[in-house]
Amino acid sequence: MKVRGRIAAIVMLAVAVVFLSPAVLMVFTAFKSPDEVLNPSSAIPHHWTLENFARTLKYSEEAPFAQWLLNSMLISTSVTFLVLFVSSLTAFAIARLKIKGSGKILAVIVASMMIPGQLFLIPVYLMLGWFHWLDTPLALIVPATAGGFGVFMLTQFMRSIPPSLEEAALIDGCSLWGVYSQICLPLCTPALATLGIFTFIGSWNDFLGPLVFMDSVRNYTLPVGIALYQSSYFTEYGKTLATSVLGTAPLVIVYCIFQKRIISSMATTGLKD
Amino acid sequence: MSSIKSQSRHANLFVVPYGMSFLVFIVCPILFAAALAFTQLDLTSREHLHFVGLDNFREALKDPYFIQATKVTCVYAIMIVPAFVVLSFGLALGLQAMTFGRNAVRGLIFLPGMFNVVVASIIWRWFYDGEFGFFNYLLKRVGIMPIHWLGEKTLALPSIVVMSLWWGLGGATIILLAALQQIPTHLYEAAMIDGATSRRLLTNITIPQMRHVLLFIVVTSTIGAFQVFGQTFMMTNGGPDRSTTGLVQLIYDTAFNKYRLGYAAALSWLLFAMILVVIIVQALLLRRSID
C-alpha cells in the first residue's frame, strides 16, 4: 500500500502541475516584451519587463483599469456586507424566533435557488430600467441581496448552535435586536466569514450581470472591462495577460489566505442528502 | 425558546429587508418573465408590447437558430458531463490514495476555479491561438502544421470543453474527496480480509457508498453545462458558423443585440424546461440503478 500511495502522490503532483501551468504561463508571459510574447523561446522570460503592467495601469479613456478595479471593489464589498446583514436577519427570524410558517418560508427560498439565473435576466433588466438603476452600481448591488444561499446556510448554522445564551440574555431583558447583534452574530462568525468569502468571490466573478446592466466604459466591473477591452486588442497577448494577472491577483490573495475555509466548506456541499 | 417566541410581534420585522428584496427581485421577475414570454416586446420597434399568445413558442420550434443552439447545448453537455464526472472522481481517488502532499495538490487543482471566466478564457484563447498559441508552438516543434483550434467547426466546441474541465473540475473533486473520506474504513478492512481485489473494492464498496454524491455531481454539472455562456462568449463568440452558440448565448443575442425581449423570455423558459426535464430523467434513471 505504501508504494501505491507514493506512486499516487507523484502522479497527482504531475496533475497539479498541469492544472497550475496555464496560470504560471500567464504570469510569466505578462512579464515578457511584445517580441518575446510572439516568438517565445522559453516559458520563462529572457528579459523581465514591467512594460505590460505599466501600459495597463496607465490611465486611458477607453480602458480605465484603476477605475474598473475600484468599481469591482466597491460593488463586491457592498454586496458582501448587504448579503451578510439581510440574510442573517432572516436566518435569525427563521432559526431562532421561529416566526409563523418559517418552514414554508425556508422551503420557498430554497426552491427559488433552483431557478436558473438567465430567467431573471430580461425582467430584471427592464425593472432596473424603470428604477433608473441601469449603468449604476445599484443594479449590481441591490438585486444580489435576494439570493437564497445565505439565508439557507446561516439558518442551518444557527440551528446547530444551542440557543441557551440567547435565552439567558432575553430573560435579563435584552431586546431582540440586542440578542441578534450582540449574541447571535458573534456566535455565527465562522459561518458569516465563509458566506462572506463566497459572496465576495461570486460577486467579483459575476460576468453576465455587469455585461448586461452596465453601459458606459467607466462603470464596468473588472471582468467586463477586461473582456470588452481585450476584444479590441486581439493579439496583444502580453498586455491582455498583464491585465488578467492584475485582475485575478486580488482573488488569488483571498484564496491563499482563506484556502482552508473555502475548501472545507466546498467539501460539505455534497454531503447533505 | 418560549421566551423568544413571546416577542414574535417584533420578530416579523427581521424578515422585512430580505422579504422585500425577494418580492422585488425574485417573485416579480418570475411573474414578469412569464408574462413577457406571451408578448411581443421589441425595443427597436416603436410598437409597445402586445399579447401574442403562444406565438413566441411556435416561432421557437421552427427557428433554425434555436434548434441549432439546442443541438450545440446538448452536444456540449453530452461531451462534458461524463468527462467531468469520471475525471473528478478519478482525481478524488488519486488524492485519497496520496501519502503526502494531498492538501497542497487539492489546493492547486481548485485554484483555476477562482479565476474569472474572462481570465480563464483569455488564457485558453491564447493557448489555442492559430499562430501564436502554446499548443501550436508545441506542434510546430515536432513538425506538425498548426491547427486553428477555435476556428474549425468540429474542433471549437471540444476545445471549449477542455478549457471548462480545467476551470471547473476542482470544486467537484473537493466534494468527492470529502465523500470518499466519509466512507467507514471497516468496510474496506472486512472486504480485504475476504481477499477482495482493489477493483472489487471500487465497484462494490466505493461507488455504492458514493452514489448520492455522484448523483449530485451529475445533476449539478448537467445544470452548469446547459447554462454555458462565458466561455463561448469570450473564446469564440458563438462561432465559427454558430457551432458554439449555446442557448444562453442565443438568449443573450436575442435580448441584447436584437432587442427582442419577449421572444428571448420565451427562450429562457424553454431552457428552464429542458434543464428540468433532463435532470428529472437523470435522477429517475440513476435512482433506479442506485437503489
The CATH number linked to B88 is 1.10.3720.10
Domain residue spans of chain A: 26-58+233-268, 68-229
Pick the CATH number of A68-229 from 1.10.3720.10, 3.30.1490.20, 1.10.486.10, 3.40.50.300: 1.10.3720.10
Closest chain B residue to A34, measured at CA: B132
Which residues on A lie below 8 Å from B233 (Cβ)? Answer: 227
CB-CB: which of A94, A146, A255 is closest to B114?
Answer: A255
Give the distance from residue A116's alpha carbon to the nearest chain B alpha carbon, in angstroms: 7
Bridge partners for B42 per DSSP: B260
- Quick one: average pLDDT of B285-291? 74
Considering chain A, what is the average pLDDT of its residues?
87
Q: How confident is the model at residue B268 (pLDDT cuts 50, 70, 90)?
A: very high
Burial B59-98 (b: 16+ CB within 10 A, else e): ebeebeebebbbebbbbbbebbbebbbeebbebbbbbbbb
Closest chain B residue to A258, measured at CA: B107
Q: How confident is the model at residue B68 (pLDDT cuts 50, 70, 90)?
A: very high
Note whether residue B38 is domain-resident.
no
CB-CB: which of B4, B178, B264 is closest to A96?
Answer: B4
Note whether residue B8 is domain-resident.
no
Query: pLDDT tens, A65-90?
Result: 888 989 999 999 999 999 999 999 99
Cβ within 8 Å, pair B122-A89: no
Note whether residue B40 is domain-resident.
no
Q: What angle do the packed helices A237-267 and B117-128 form, to 10 degrees?
A: 130
User: Does A248 touch chain B if contact means CB atoms closer than 8 Å?
Assistant: yes
Residue B4's pLDDT is: 55
Q: How many residues does chain A have?
A: 273
Query: pLDDT tens, B75-88?
Result: 999 999 999 999 99
d(CA A142, CA B261): 23
Cβ within 8 Å, pair A97-B265: no
What is the DSSP code string of B103-114? HHHHHHHHGGGG
What is the percent of chain B where pLDDT is above 70? 95
Which residues on B lie below 8 Å from A112 (Cβ)? Answer: 22, 26
Q: What is the CA radius of gyration of chain B?
A: 24
CB-CB: which of B107, B117, B182 is closest to A271?
Answer: B182
Task: Tell me the residue range of the domain where B120 lies.
Answer: 58-290
CA distances from B87 to A86, A124, B83, B92, B156 (A): 38, 37, 6, 8, 21
pLDDT greater than 70 at residue B141 = yes
- Quick one: average pLDDT of A222-241? 79
Number of domains observed in the structure of chain B = 1
Query: Which residues, numbered 199 to 238 in chain B, qualify as contacts with chain A under a Cβ-Cβ cut-off of 8 Å?
Result: 212-213, 216-217, 223, 226-227, 229-230, 233-234
Note whether residue B100 is domain-resident.
yes
Query: Which residues, numbered 26 to 45 in chain B, qualify as contacts with chain A under a Cβ-Cβ cut-off of 8 Å?
Result: 26, 28-30, 32-33, 36
Q: How confident is the model at residue A263 (pLDDT cuts 50, 70, 90)?
A: confident
Can you list the positions of beta strands (E) in B121-193?
Answer: none
Which of A4, A10, A11, A12 to mutate to probe the B interface, most B CBs <10 Å? A12
Q: How confident is the model at residue B7 (pLDDT cuts 50, 70, 90)?
A: low
